[in-house]
Structure 1
């Protein structure tokens, strides 16, 4: 890959990983429009590591407090807000892990087409807009119950369906449960950490088994651009989400879904 392809794909990954717009749709549409060859497994791993580094860096203080409180709760059996949030992130990750093990191959075989991507973008985009308009409340992530955590975790498993968007479906579920926009987004970002980490480890295992040749320049540049763009995306999304709401993303998802149908059909 030349440097322009590396930068554009890394920017897309960094921006769309945490926005409710489906990163998979962008990484399919852009190569189709440009005629670029598939970027390969090694580059996918690099981009995900960049996104992971960004979210770890952005929430470093929260993660330190959550980890410290979680460790204390294991010993004392008493949990404060940070410990409950940490346990919530862990429990909410279980459904998507189980669903991935059970259905990943079938989804890759039958649903990984531009048509299903477009349908997922439009349907789950409209669901996001409805949740933001109808159900959004004033609760914060520290006020979530275990039932809330379970529902959001099960919703996250739906992100295995192409076009759904992991960020989009978890924010949708949180809004439906009465969380405010910022709390729904923050919990979605925290939930991304174990999911991206697991995805990186699985893809790294596949990479080792396939013994793929690695372009270290492309890998390094991809990690850097993905990390910087993801960090800025998280920051400005949380800054502006109270003001802009979810409707601009709903409109964008509908346009993107239509673009997929026009390009491929």
Structure 2
């Protein structure tokens, strides 16, 4: 499960959707939204390590800019954009937390989301100009990408898929859209993981529970695999389009629909 989390967190294929599918296919039970949120601490730690220089630079510039107006450059504004873009998912995540932990984890919902949202990714790749650079980001971009991130509350949509697609629709360069989306996810995912930590031991709904040792191992494995995955993905985006993942999403979603229709796996 941790390997799946590490491999899929940064790819536009939905890590939460894949964890729900894998846990039911291989373990005949749902690992649960809380387990998913906690293992994401490992992959977000990988983001912190990979983007350490960027994060330190942005935080330093933001702090300096608060005190001295002359220091309010691109990195200062980027710090504010991360804060602004984080607000929508924090609000909706708290408001719909019970639905997220139960209702939307139905495999029918996940399979349909995998297939349907692939069309959105394909459209973004098709019409995105990919001409805007980081110094052209605005607070409106942060709001749009932040709202797009809330779609990831539905397993099967994908956090990176929704934020990168939003960035492409806004005309951002593909790698910039991915990097901004990853930075935007850091505060929200860490908050979600820490908030969900107690529930991972005792799920509030039906599902598998985890011991402290299991969670610790899962976070460590997700960190190592995730660090390799984010490095590979950003290099991939420099030379390739998102269409590769569109094809995978359609194939995976269709396969799950077939398994559900034939009764091989249970939807809940």
TM-score (norm 1): 0.88
Is 1:18 aligned with 2:14? no
Secondary structure of residue in 1 paired with 2:130? coil
CA distance in 1, matches of 2:146, 2:29: 35
Secondary structure of residue in 2 paired with 1:228? helix
Deviations 1:137-175 (A, max 9, x none): 221233111111111111111221231111110000000
Is 1:166 aligned with 2:159? yes
Match of 2:49 in 1: 57
CA distance in 2, matches of 1:109, 1:54: 28
CA distance in 1, matches of 2:260, 2:16: 15
Match of 2:185 in 1: 192
CA distance in 2, matches of 1:130, 1:49: 31
Contact 2:46 2:223 in 1 (8 A): yes
CA distance in 2, matches of 1:113, 1:213: 18
Secondary structure of residue in 1 paired with 2:47? helix
| CA RMSD of superposed structures (Å) | 2.4
Secondary structure of residue in 1 paired with 2:105? coil
1:105 Cα deviation from its structure 2 partner: 2.2
1:122 Cα deviation from its structure 2 partner: 1.3
Match of 1:144 in 2: 137
Equivalent positions of 1:63-78 (< 5 A) are 63-78=55-70
Contact 1:42 1:214 in 2 (8 A): no
Contact 1:129 1:250 in 2 (8 A): yes
1:206 to 194, 199, 209: 199
Equivalent positions of 1:1-265 (< 5 A) are 9-39=1-31, 43-44=35-36, 46-78=38-70, 79-206=72-199, 215-265=211-261
CA distance in 1, matches of 2:32, 2:246: 30
Which deviates more, 148-157 or 37-46?
37-46
Deviations 1:71-130 (A, max 9, x none): 111222452111111111110000111111222323444332111111211121111111
Secondary structure of residue in 2 paired with 1:111? helix
Contact 1:24 1:163 in 2 (8 A): yes
Which deviates more, 104-113 or 252-261?
104-113
CA distance in 1, matches of 2:76, 2:121: 29
Contact 1:158 1:164 in 2 (8 A): yes
Consecutive unaligned residues of structure 1, counting only runs of 5 or more, are 1-8
Which deviates more, 163-172 or 96-105?
96-105
